[in-house]
Amino acid sequence: MSKIDVSLKSIRKEYGSHVVVEDFSIDMSHGEIVCLLGPSGCGKTTTLRMVAGFIQPTAGRICIGGADVTEAPPYRRNTGMVFQAYALFPHRTVEQNIAFGLECRKLPTDVRRQRVGEMLELIEMPHLRHRLPKELSGGQQQRVALARALAIQPNVLLLDEPFSNLDAQLRVRLREELRELIKRVNITTLFVTHDQEEALSIADRVVVMNKGIVEQVGRPSEIYEYPQTEFVASFIGTCSSLKGRLDGSGRLQLNGDIWLPCDGPAGEVTAIIRPEFVRPAANGETGFVLAGRVVGSSYLGHMSRVIVDVAGEKLVMDARFPNDSTPACGQPLNVAIDPSGLRVIGGYKSPQMAELRK
CATH of the domain at 76: 3.40.50.300
Q: In what order do the strands lie in the sheet with 79-82?
A: 79-82, 156-160, 188-193, 33-37, 205-210, 213-218
Are 191 and 38 contacting, i.e. CB atoms less than 8 angstroms apart?
Answer: no
pLDDT at 347: 65
Inside any domain, residue 212: yes
Q: How many CA atoms lie within 13 A of 20 on its CB side?
A: 19
CA 346 to each of CA 83, 172, 270: distance values in angstroms, whole numbers, following the listed order: 35, 31, 9
Choose one of 202, 230, 258: the last residue of a domain: 230
Query: Is residue 321 within 8 Å of residue 346, measured between CB atoms?
Result: no
Residue 45, in any domain of the structure: yes
The pLDDT value given to residue 68: 95
Which of 203, 230, 257 is the endpoint of a domain? 230
Measured between alpha carbons, how far is 35 from 33 in angstroms, rounded to an integer?
7
Q: List the domain range (segments joined by +) for residue 255.
A: 240-355
Q: Are residues 135 and 277 in the same domain?
A: no
pLDDT of residue 354: 43
Q: Last residue of some domain: 171, 198, 230?
A: 230
CATH number for position 252: 2.40.50.140
Longest CA pairwise span in the chain (Å): 78
Does residue 82 lie within any of the structural domains? yes
Model pLDDT, residue 348: 55
206 lies in the same domain as 84: yes
Whether residues 201 and 326 share a domain: the answer is no
Does 188 map to a domain?
yes
At residue 27, the pLDDT reads 96
- Residue 355's CB is within 10 A of a number of other CB atoms, namely 10
Same domain, 220 and 261: no
Residue type for 16, please? G
SS (H, E, C) the chain: CCCEEEEEEEEEEEECCEEEEEEEEEEEECCCEEEEECCCCCCHHHHHHHHHCCCCCCEEEEEECCEECCCCCHHHCCEEEECCCCCCCCCCCHHHHHHHHHHHCCCCHHHHHHHHHHHHHHCCCHHHCCCCHHHCCHHHHHHHHHHHHHHCCCCEEEEECCCCCCCHHHHHHHHHHHHHHHHHHCCEEEEEECCHHHHHHHCCEEEEEECCEEEEEECHHHHHHCCCCHHHHHHCCCCEEEEEEECCCCEEEECCCEEEECCCCCEEEEEEECHHHEEECCCCCCCCEEEEEEEEEEECCCCEEEEEEECCEEEEEEECCHHHCCCCCCCEEEEEECHHHCEECCCCCCHHHHHCCC
Q: Are residues 48 and 189 in the same domain?
A: yes
Q: How far apart (Å, rounded) are the C-alpha atoms in residues 142 and 340?
A: 41
Count of domains in the chain?
A: 2
Residues 112 and 216 in one domain: yes
Note whether residue 166 is domain-resident: yes
Amino acid identity, position 80:
G
207 and 61 together in one domain? yes
CB atoms within 10 A of CB 41: 13
194 and 293 part of one domain: no
- Give the residues of the chain that fall short of pLDDT 50: 349-358
Same domain as 55, residue 119: yes
Burial of 188 (0-12, 13-18, 19+ CB in 10 A): buried
Q: Which pTM was predicted?
A: 0.87
In a domain, residue 235? The reply is no
The answer to whether 66 and 78 are in contact (CB under 8 A) is no
Please tell me whether residues 216 and 247 are part of one structural domain: no
- Please indicate, yes or no, if residue 273 is contained in any of the structural domains: yes
Residues 11 and 40 occupy one common structural domain: yes
Q: Do 72 and 139 have their domain in common?
A: yes
Beta-carbon contacts of residue 11 (< 8 Å; ≥ 6 apart): 21, 23, 24, 25, 47, 50, 57, 59, 60, 61, 62
Instruction: Evaluate whether residue 175 is within a structural domain.
Output: yes
Residue 310, strand partner residues: 313
